[in-house]
Amino acid sequence: MKIKGTRIDPRPMRANLSVTRLVDEYMPAYNGARLREACQLLVNKILREDVTVGLAVTGALTPAGFGTSVLAPLIRAGFIDYIVSTGANLYHDLHYALGLPLYQSSPFIDDLELRKHDIVRIYDIVVDFEALLDTDRYVYQLLESGLFKGRMSTAKLHHGMGSLVAETEKKLKRPYPSLLSAAFKADVPIYTPSPGDSTIGLNIAAKWFKGQDLEIDVSADVNETTAIVYDATRGKKKSAVVILGGGSPKNFLLQTEPQIQEIMGLSARGHDYFIQITDARPDTGGLSGATPSEAVSWGKIDPAGLPDTVVCYADCALVLPILAAYVLANAKRRKPKRLYRHRDVLMRKLSKAYEGVPLGGRPSGRKCRR
Catalytic residues: 300
Would you say 34 and 341 are in contact if contact means Cβ atoms under 8 Å apart? no
| Residue type at 152 in one-letter notation | M
Would you say 80 and 188 are in contact if contact means Cβ atoms under 8 Å apart? yes
Cα-based angle 344, 151, 248 (whole degrees, multiple of 5): 80
Give the whole-angstrom CA distance, residue 357 versus residue 367: 16
What's the start-to-end Cα distance of the chain, in Å?
40
Give the whole-angstrom CA distance, residue 104 versus residue 96: 14
Name the region of 240 (left: φ>0; alpha: ψ -120 to 50; beta: rest).
beta
What's the longest Cα–Cα distance across the chain? Answer: 74
* DSSP-derived 3-state class of residue 109: coil
Cα-based angle 278, 284, 286 (whole degrees, multiple of 5): 65
